[in-house]
Amino acid sequence: MSLVPDSYDKSRAWRAALSQATAFVLSLVLFMASLPAFAVVGSRTPQAAGDAEPASLPPASVAPQPDRSNGTTASGPVRASPPRMPFYVATKGSTTIYVLGTLHVGFPTDYPPEQPFRKSILAALDASPTLALEISPDELLVSQDDVNRYGMCRSECLIDYLPDSMWKEVEARMRNNPAALKELRHTRPWLASMLIETYDTLKAGFQSEYGTEAQLQNMYLRVRGKIVGLETLNEQISTFTRLTSAQQREMLAQDLAQTPAQNIADVKELHRLWRIGDADALKAWDDAKSSKLAKSSQLAAQVDNRVVYDRNRRFVQRMVAIAAPDKPVFVAIGALHLGGPRGVLELLRKRGFVVEGG
């Protein structure tokens, strides 16, 4: 039974935002609050991977193609090109793991109807018996109750978790959204942090319908249908519920450190870098931003260890276990998990895989 009062069930957008927040995990972008988490069916159905023109994986040296999604020429509109996205191929003998860095939200122009992904990505998806996401779609369907149970309280508990000065910051941030503030009062700091950033992301016009996972599932379910998770819902939620109160306050403090306009600018920059497709550049940008916003470098490092790096190790352990000789696995996880010396790509290299851009 849910611990949230019945009155909270009246808002479909709020329920969706709670479920969606579980899958975000510090990637700086949150889901659109008006749709179910990882909606499989959007307003249009992208081209299936199996219908794509056969393609081989290009060498890592191939330069990203310019995005002409809104361009025209003298002879008429230019056919939209999909963004490059962070995409890598890890091989060890006859074992292959394709790794795509995702954003959980996006714009329609990120996935042109004629070709929603680059040919190398489509070919890899078509060649893989298994698609592995952070969490399986089946578990996301039942995530609502667990988020309610572990992220919310019957009482107005957020006020009790925060010092007066921080609570006043929350009130000031949400002064133009009293309905949302009323709901936030019943959240624990880790969930409040995610939802405050959700509101800023919504202002930038991002939609969960155009998140990478949703678009991949639109195609993959038509072709094969076997989708697994690299962690369970309980493991992901435990990542946050096991944070100390001080660590949760650090998360929230970082979200409050900037104005909504600054947070929106950061979301847009993250989206721009994701389209370019360099995982190390994405991680370097995120590390610099986190260092600038951290109130306590020690607490911030502790949060990163639990929320990012512990999970990176879990992801790699499980994707390696899923992969088998001549049976590739296609992995799609948050783009900020990939790059850097403690990222998924480097962890694969330490396990003997050769990792190249795809």
Q: What is the pLDDT of residues 318-354, one digit of tens each?
A: 999 999 999 999 999 999 999 999 999 999 999 999 9
- Region 255-266: what's the mean pLDDT? 93
Q: Which range, of 23-27, 160-164, 242-246, averages the lowest pLDDT?
A: 23-27
Give the pLDDT band of residue 218 (cuts 50, 70, 90).
Answer: confident
User: What are the boundaries of each domain within the chain?
Assistant: 8-27+82-108+117-357
| Numbers of helices and strands, H then E, in the chain | 16, 8
Which range has the worst mean pLDDT, 58-67, 216-225, 293-302? Answer: 58-67
pLDDT in tens, 60-105: 323 333 333 343 444 444 567 899 999 999 999 999 999 999 998 8
Least confident of 16-25, 44-53, 235-244, 282-291: 44-53
What residue spans of 257-340 are helical by DSSP H? 260-276, 279-293, 297-304, 310-322
Q: What share of the chain has pLDDT > 90, as a percent?
A: 60
pTM score over 0.85: no
Half-sphere exposure of 156 (CA within 13 A, CB side): 6
- 3-state secondary structure (DSSP) of residue 354: strand
8: pLDDT strictly greater than 90: no
H or E stretch including 170? helix 164-173
Task: Output the DSSP codes for 191-245.
Answer: HHHHHHHHHHHHHTT-BGGGSHHHHHHHHHHHHT--EEESS-HHHHHHHHHTS-H
Model confidence at 18: pLDDT above 80: no
